[in-house]
Amino acid sequence: GAGVSQSPSNKVTEKGKDVELRCDPISGHTALYWYRQSLGQGLEFLIYFQGNSAPDKSGLPSDRFSAERTGGSVSTLTIQRTQQEDSAVYLCASSPSLPSSYNEQFFGPGTRLTVL
C-alpha cells in the first residue's frame, strides 16, 4: 500500500519568502507529526495532530511556523518569511494511534528546504 508522501522533495527559496510543505499520511492514520532534521542533528519535534486538531504545537520554533490538517488527512506546514536557519529536511510521519501500536511512526521521504 501507499506510504507517507511529501511534496515537494526539494525546495529552494530566497530569504523572506513563504513556503508550504505538504504531507499525505497513510490512509486511516489519525496521528500526524512534523519533524525537522538539520545536518548532524537529531529529529526535532515540531507539531502533532490528532485528527484535525493539534494538541501539541510546542516544537514550532517561532510564530513564522504554522501547520494545519484538513479532513483528518493532508497536512501543510507553512513557514513565513523564511530565514537561512530554516534550511533543513522537514519530515512528516503518521501513526495509527492505536493503544496497541505503541506509536510506531511511518515516515515520509522528507522535503529538503534550502533558504538562500
Partner 1 sequence: SQKIEQNSEALNIQEGKTATLTCNYTNYSPAYLQWYRQDPGRGPVFLLLIRENEKEKRKERLKVTFDTTLKQSLFHITASQPADSATYLCALGGGGSNYKLTFGKGTLLTVNP
Q: Name 103's bridge partners.
A: none
Place of cell 511556523: 65
Place of cell 537529531: 42
The only residue of 14, 53, 85, 102 in contact with partner 1, by rule CB under 8 A? 102
Give me the least distance between CB of 107 and partner 1, in Å please. 3
Using DSSP's 3-state secondary structure scheme, residue 85 falls into helix
Q: Does 25 bind partner 1 (CB under 8 A)?
A: no
Q: Name 113's bridge partners.
A: 11, 88
# of chain residues touching partner 1 (CB under 8 A): 24
Side-chain-side CA neighbours of residue 81 (13 Å): 3
- Stretch in the footprint of partner 1 (CB under 8 A) among 14-22, 36-44, 64-72, 76-84: 36-44
DSSP character for 84? G
- Stretch in the footprint of partner 1 (CB under 8 A) among 13-21, 62-70, 74-82, 95-103: 95-103
Residues that bind partner 1 (CB under 8 A): 4, 31, 35, 40-43, 45, 48, 50, 56, 91, 93, 95, 97, 102-110
